[in-house]
């Protein structure tokens, strides 16, 4: 195919989707202009450096599935270390007492087995499942079968198993009671294990961004206020920027997050988007998964001389009832400890995940505390009841006092759409069709959409999905001009 310098494409947003789309188009001779509201590329793929010198991801931490996953290929290509973190956690019961390894394995195994059954049920009979049913409703049906009435202390055991079931919320950024059972199958990812990106996404992002930064015209700190898409095939698409200037293009690819589309779909597009497309944008829910890193001078929870057990991988505090002041709702707490990461990527840090009401409350409290000291104190006070239950904790030990705290605030970030990651909640009628409608966009009118919310079904809500979605739109634009 000959060069396409006369075709000018605008890409709104320089996250993984926008960068990959731009790269594909540039390789085929298209002129590409990127408009990015931040002063950097990456969108939610972003890192910060802790005081211990280690970089941490503020966005995605994981590579979901290894079979044919381009993110794993990019990790290998860039020398980014990954780690297979055991899915069987250490767990503390609602009183704060450490559960035995045997009990933790038993409950976690049952939970994951029921989840597999739920995926199979959703995939095979989804169209017949009541819209109002949640994944938690499925668990309520199955738990009594797993722990029958005749079993000693059955009610207590069932309560504990339900608490393990709640941990699914930390995966989707929304409570398990809100997860649509009918569309649970859309949450199933690429085959094989989920790998923690131990070396962070930093070098992966640099690799994806380099050919674009070298070649494309990119405008940072530039937000798009409006898009007038084509009424006729020979029209141009017009972008109106925050400074009032307007620019014409042959095609426009919008890679803003789903939450941004939901908030701006009426005022950002002219003429108004077709009603079915607007309905699909609103139909898919937008999550609120947030992360909190707490670093220490040393990993005090690691085994000392003469001790055999160590806290590694996931740690969960189930429905804690011992912090009525800051956690009266008994929000589940879940963390990954990073001292057991491989080699030089290991550091004495706990990564907590929050979601749902806790994320909403937590980020609103952070917004009230502008100074680093205030925020550090608040984070330490909130999470101390949990990390203080780890082995070898002593309140008067310097090793057990946090030296750095970093928390994400995607819910306070307008450019992130005030949240993070699409998900599928109860009441959703045609989630797969809604994804397909957003994925299709309005190609005849020069308006395309990309992002984790338009990804292939096996990669929705993931960095891989965002990358693939941008690639797919780039290839479709190329095909249009062939």
Q: How far apart are CA 315 and CA 294, in angstroms?
A: 14
Could you tell me which residues come within 8 angstroms of residue 307 by beta carbon, excluding any fewer than 6 positions away? 391
Q: Tell me how far the alpha carbon of residue 468 is from its chain's centroid.
A: 16
Cβ-contact 74, 199 below 8 angstroms: no
Report the pLDDT value the prediction gives residue 312, as an integer from 0 to 100: 77
Report the pLDDT value the prediction gives residue 233, as an integer from 0 to 100: 87
End-to-end CA distance of the chain: 7
Q: How far apart are CA 321 and CA 478, in angstroms?
A: 57
Q: Specify the DSSP element, H or E, that contains 161.
A: helix 154-165
Report the pLDDT value the prediction gives residue 308, as an integer from 0 to 100: 64
Report the pLDDT value the prediction gives residue 261, as an integer from 0 to 100: 98
Could you tell me which residues come within 8 angstroms of residue 89 by beta carbon, excluding any fewer than 6 positions away? 104, 108, 167, 313, 314, 315, 316, 334
Report the pLDDT value the prediction gives residue 309, as an integer from 0 to 100: 67
Place of tokens 């709702």: 329
The crossing angle, in degrees rounded to 10, of helices 275-283 and 431-440 is 120
Residue ranges in the chain modelled with pLDDT below 70:
1-5, 87, 306-310
Tokens of 297: 């001078």
Could you tell me which residues come within 8 angstroms of residue 183 by beta carbon, excluding any fewer than 6 positions away? 122, 126, 424, 428, 431, 432
Report the pLDDT value the prediction gives residue 1, as an integer from 0 to 100: 41
Instruction: State pLDDT tens for residues 246-304.
Output: 999 999 999 999 999 999 999 999 999 999 999 999 999 999 999 999 999 999 999 87
Tokens of 161: 């198993």
């Amino acid at each position: 195919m000959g060069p396409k310098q006369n075709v000018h494409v605008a890409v709104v947003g320089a996250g993984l989707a926008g960068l990959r789309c731009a790269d594909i188009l540039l390789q085929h001779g298209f002129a590409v202009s990127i408009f990015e509201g931040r002063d950097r590329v990456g969108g939610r793929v972003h890192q910060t450096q802790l005081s211990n010198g280690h970089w941490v991801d503020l966005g995605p931490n994981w590579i979901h599935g290894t079979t044919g996953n381009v993110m794993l290929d990019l990790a290998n290509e860039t020398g980014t270390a990954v780690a297979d973190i055991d899915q069987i956690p250490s767990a503390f019961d609602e009183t704060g007492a450490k559960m035995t390894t045997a009990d933790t394995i038993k409950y976690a195994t049952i939970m994951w087995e029921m989840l597999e059954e739920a995926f199979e049920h959703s995939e095979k009979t989804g169209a017949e499942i009541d819209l109002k049913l949640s994944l938690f409703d499925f668990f309520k049906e199955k738990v009594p079968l797993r722990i029958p009435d005749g079993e000693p202390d059955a009610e207590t055991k069932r309560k504990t198993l339900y608490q393990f079931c709640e941990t699914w919320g930390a995966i989707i950024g929304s409570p398990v009671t809100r997860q649509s059972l009918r569309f649970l199958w859309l949450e199933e990812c690429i085959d094989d294990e989920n790998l923690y990106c131990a070396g962070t996404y930093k070098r992966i992002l640099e690799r994806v961004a380099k050919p674009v930064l070298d070649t494309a015209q990119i405008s940072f700190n530039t937000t798009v206020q409006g898009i007038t898409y084509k009424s006729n095939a020979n029209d141009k698409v017009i972008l109106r920027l925050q400074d009032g200037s307007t620019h014409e293009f042959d095609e426009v690819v919008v890679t803003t997050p789903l939450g941004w589309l939901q908030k701006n779909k009426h005022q950002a597009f002219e003429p108004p988007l077709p009603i079915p497309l607007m309905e699909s944008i609103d139909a898919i829910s937008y999550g609120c998964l947030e992360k909190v890193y707490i670093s220490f001078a040393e990993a005090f929870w690691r085994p000392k001389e003469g001790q055999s057990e160590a806290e590694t991988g996931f740690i969960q505090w189930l429905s804690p009832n011992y912090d009525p002041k800051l956690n009266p709702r008994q929000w589940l707490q879940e963390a990954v400890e990073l001292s057991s990461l491989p080699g030089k990527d290991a550091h004495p840090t706990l990564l907590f995940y929050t979601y749902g009401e806790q994320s909403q409350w937590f980020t609103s409290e952070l917004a009230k505390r502008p100074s680093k000291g205030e925020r550090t104190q608040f984070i330490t006070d909130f999470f101390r009841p949990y990390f203080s239950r780890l082995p070898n904790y002593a309140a008067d030990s310097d090793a057990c006092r946090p030296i750095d705290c970093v928390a994400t605030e995607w819910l306070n970030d307008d450019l992130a759409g005030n949240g993070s990651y699409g998900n599928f909640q109860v009441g959703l009628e045609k989630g797969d069709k809604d994804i397909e409608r957003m994925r299709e966009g309005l190609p005849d009118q020069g308006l395309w959409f990309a992002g984790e919310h338009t990804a292939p079904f096996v990669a929705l809500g993931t960095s891989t999905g965002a990358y693939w979605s941008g690639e797919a739109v780039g290839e479709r634009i190329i095909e249009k001009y062939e």
